[in-house]
Chain A
Amino acid sequence: MIEFQDVSFVHQNGVIALDRVSVKIEAGETVAIVGENGAGKTTLVKHVTGLLKPSTGSVLVDGIDTRASSTAALSRKVGVAFQNPDHQLFSESVEEEMAFALRNFGFTAELVENRVSWGLRLFGLEEYRKSSPLVLSGGEKKRLTLACIMAWDPDVVILDEPTVGQDAIQKEKLTGTIRMLGSTGKTVIVVSHDIEFLWPIQPRVVVMKEGRILGDGPASRLMQERELLSSARVAQPQLVAFYQALDPRPKDPFVDPLEARRWVAGRAEIT
């Protein structure tokens, strides 16, 4: 479990990035953090890995205060895929890149080999095993960063803006990956502007603005709160906006995103 207890974070230049944030994320939850640029989303998740330490308050990861632990130690529990994969790729080959963290954590050579092979298969990167990670496409690099994390099997996976620079197919694959992570009991935290990407996943959504939490709840409810989203400068999913524009009758069930097409077709017939 991850727990933020009244956490504030002030940058060296005096800017308040987090302002008395309190939030609990249970093990196995999939949580999306949304908000405009500078809302404090990335600052929030950097506290989970211990890359940033709170100015006041405390952050607990499985009961461990992040201030009492190094990032390297916390990263055994928490894996982060940063926005720009070029910020981490450096090895001569894809397999070496994947093995980097495993060796840092002291895995045996046999286990490293097994985990690397498993990760490459899982993310469809086997053919690039001996290639330089620097020659991969943007989508492949992103998948490689995810594979690198999955290889050491952390309990918490954080994805910071995973859809940046990804085409539609890659986004769909990412959706599948996040669902898969959720189904295997991982805690998944996704930081994203991309509401259309988040909507099918139906995560718990935390809306942030100016370092504060404006809203927290299931996507199906929170995404209907137009005023809240508007004040946080977050767009509504098109399906929800469309549904609200249709002026639904009280009897209409709110649509499950997977049933959307059938619902819209039924509604059109009624009209």
Chain B
Amino acid sequence: MMWLSGGFIFRRGTSVYHRLDPRVKLLISSLMFVTTLLVRSLYELAMVIAFMVAVAAVATVLRRVARTMALTFIFSTVIFVLNLIVTKNLETSALYAVRFVAIVVSTSLFFITTSPDELEQVMKTFRLPRDVVFAFVTAVRFIPVMMLDTLQIMDAQKSRGLELEKGNIIRRVRNMIPVLIPLVVNSVVRSGELAEAMESRAYGAVRRPTSLVEYKASWADKVVAFAAVAIFVLTAYSFYFVLPTTVL
């Protein structure tokens, strides 16, 4: 489970991509996201995924992107089967299933290379309400903590004879109750403690608190952002006016 979760959790890195301004990384991920929605054939989608893999290689997170793909496998299989039943078209079904993987990978590339602090700064740039930013960033920041809690709770219950991997699907779901209840209770307790700790450190005392770090895009960031937009425009243009495609 921890192996799979690694596909979405940020870890510090020193690659060129990690060092980019977070707003540029958000721009690149957003453009990749939109491009996956523009594709009209598996051939085009393969090109977009190849580009994502190249970005992941530059960011030295190929293995972790592979985990993201592994994580989406079950969902994309469901999408494929449902589409196949409804449309009875193999290529369309495959396109939707693979598109889902591409969408998740484009989002994952942003989250695994952007720290919660950077994420906070990005959200502040868009002048989102402070409470919303704080809630979202805290949720992201606590994902690894929750994962660790889950593993510890599973260990504790397995040590009391609970067999999580045995039985049919209904029994397995029922066996998760001793894991889910402590997880939820701990999370609620933790959120209460966090709220108290924040209030005791003057959270909300001023409407617009100052920031420790103010991001300023360097010329390199601007070049990368410009290149990303240019590639996006060229790709979108080629999809619709150059490459032969099957309109779905």
Q: Which residues of A contact B (CB under 8 A)?
A: 12, 46, 49, 51, 70-72, 75-76, 78-80, 82, 84, 86-90, 100-101, 104-105, 134, 148, 152
- How far does the alpha carbon of A148 sit from the alpha carbon of B3 in the complex, in Å? 32
Contacts A88-B182, A89-B182, A90-B181 given; indicate if A12 touches B160 (C-beta within 8 A). no
Candidates B3, B159, B182, B185; contact of A75 at CB < 8 Å: B159
Query: Which residues of A have CB within 8 Å of B182?
Result: 86-90
Pairs A–B under 8 Å by Cβ, sample size 18: A46-B155, A49-B159, A51-B155, A76-B161, A78-B159, A79-B159, A86-B185, A87-B155, A87-B156, A87-B182, A87-B186, A88-B160, A88-B178, A90-B178, A100-B162, A101-B161, A104-B161, A134-B185
B177 and A101 within 8 A (CB): no
**Additional pairs, 15, CB under 8 Å, beyond known A49-B159, A152-B161:** A12-B2, A71-B155, A72-B161, A75-B158, A75-B159, A75-B161, A76-B161, A80-B156, A82-B159, A87-B153, A87-B186, A88-B153, A88-B157, A104-B161, A104-B162
Candidates B152, B158, B177, B185; contact of A72 at CB < 8 Å: B158
The 8 closest A-B pairs by CB, nearest first: A104-B161, A90-B181, A101-B160, A88-B156, A71-B158, A80-B159, A87-B156, A72-B163
Is B189 an interface position by the 8 A CB rule?
yes
Which residue of B has the minimal Cβ distance to A86?
A: B186
Query: Which residues of A have CB within 8 Å of B155?
Result: 46, 51, 71, 82, 87
Which residue of A has the minimal Cβ distance to B181?
A: A90
A82 and B156 within 8 A (CB): yes
The A-B contact count (CB < 8 A) is 66
Distance (Å) between the CB of B67 and the closest chain A CB?
Answer: 11
Q: Which residues of B contact A (CB under 8 A)?
A: 2-3, 149, 152-153, 155-163, 177-178, 181-182, 185-186, 189
Which residue of A has the minimal Cβ distance to B190?
A: A86
Distance (Å) between the CB of A93 and the closest chain B CB?
Answer: 13
B152 and A82 within 8 A (CB): yes
- How far does the alpha carbon of A36 sit from the alpha carbon of B224 in the complex, in Å? 46
A87 and B158 within 8 A (CB): no
Query: Which residues of B have CB within 8 Å of A12?
Result: 2-3
A86 and B189 within 8 A (CB): yes
- How far does the alpha carbon of A51 sit from the alpha carbon of B156 in the complex, in Å? 9
Candidates B3, B160, B181; contact of A104 at CB < 8 Å: B160
The CB with the most chain A CB atoms within 10 A, among B156, B157, B178, B182, is that of: B156
- How far does the alpha carbon of A79 sit from the alpha carbon of B161 in the complex, in Å? 10
- How far does the alpha carbon of A79 sit from the alpha carbon of B159 in the complex, in Å? 7
- How far does the alpha carbon of A100 sit from the alpha carbon of B159 in the complex, in Å? 11
